[in-house]
Structure 1
């Protein structure tokens, strides 16, 4: 009986280890050649009715082209995310970028942008985003899990707590360097498959 119990007790442990090995890790994926990907995120601090936005532009090789981070006033996390996308579109328009994918981990926002749905609390920002997007040829919006948006997430978080300066793309902190290295390595793994 003890042997049978031990065999049964070990089965779930063995299968859960096997399940963990087969789960794929979500990571940043580069855009197709000739395209630019802009990952956006926001950090919202409810006590301050504000937070910070981040927009990180990279090419198909994972090279950092430009980036933006700033503190904002916002009424909700969704409004902060929408302001981050709006700011990224303004940058793209100013640099006259074409063939660009805007990626966010805010599923509600991306669904609203793709379907052109109304969200009363942020409708003014949504209207701005859609108008800006119309002026950029070959522009699209995609959703990514937070793990695939690590760099923009970290930039927004560090900006919100005041520990990241505006010039961070030139003077990258170690935490940012680590994310860039890891994502570059993972993107090389994906392209070599």
Structure 2
């Protein structure tokens, strides 16, 4: 999901992948997100995800990188250079509810989902609203 600086939804994408190991799917999702950001000509990006091994490898811990995902993660490292500012951050799974809702919204009959803030599936919209409530409550507490 692409958000603006106020965390508002700009666009959202999801797609199915051929059957593969989870680490490969996570690495492929990161590379796809970087490619989508390039296509959209975004320059300042933050990519968040709950695949800790992938984000650790991209951010320098290649020793623990799973060999099945190494090529994809090397691609991600190269793609980072395209952006003026690119931060790839690991987040806890419970902080990644919007991505999980998007993944569930993809259908085998329609393997790619593209939407904007007006066409988000209801479950994705609900997950995004919960995220915004959490962010706002944390901001108020600080």
The bucket for the TM-score relative to the shorter chain is: 0.7 to 0.9
- Structure with max Cα Rg: 1
Distance 2:112 2:18 in 1: 18
Deviations 1:71-103 (A, max 9, x none): 112420000000100010001111221221111
Aligned position for 1:7? none
State the distance in 1 between where 2:19 and 2:27 align.
Answer: 10
Q: Which runs of 5+ in 1 are unaligned?
A: 1-55
| Aligned residue number for residue 171 of structure 1 | 119
Maintained 8 Å contact 2:49/2:91: yes
What's the CA shift for 1:166? 2.0
Could you list the runs of 5+ residues in structure 2 that have no partner in the other structure? none
- Aligned equivalent of 2:31: 86
Question: 1:111 and 1:120 mapped to 2: Cα distance?
Answer: 14
How far off is 1:174 after superposition?
Answer: 2.2
The equivalent residue for 1:183 is 131
User: SS of 2:69's equivalent?
Assistant: helix
Matched, 1:72 2:22: no
CA RMSD across the alignment = 2.1
Alignment of 1:116-155 (within 5 A): 117=62, 118-155=65-102
Using the size of structure 1 for normalisation, the TM-score is 0.64
- Deviation digits for residues 142-164 of structure 1, max 9, x if unmatched? 11111100000111133266689
Number of equivalent positions: 138
Query: Hey, what does 1:20 align to over in structure 2?
Result: none
Deviates more, 1:156-165 or 1:94-103: 156-165
Q: CA deviation at 1:70?
A: 1.2
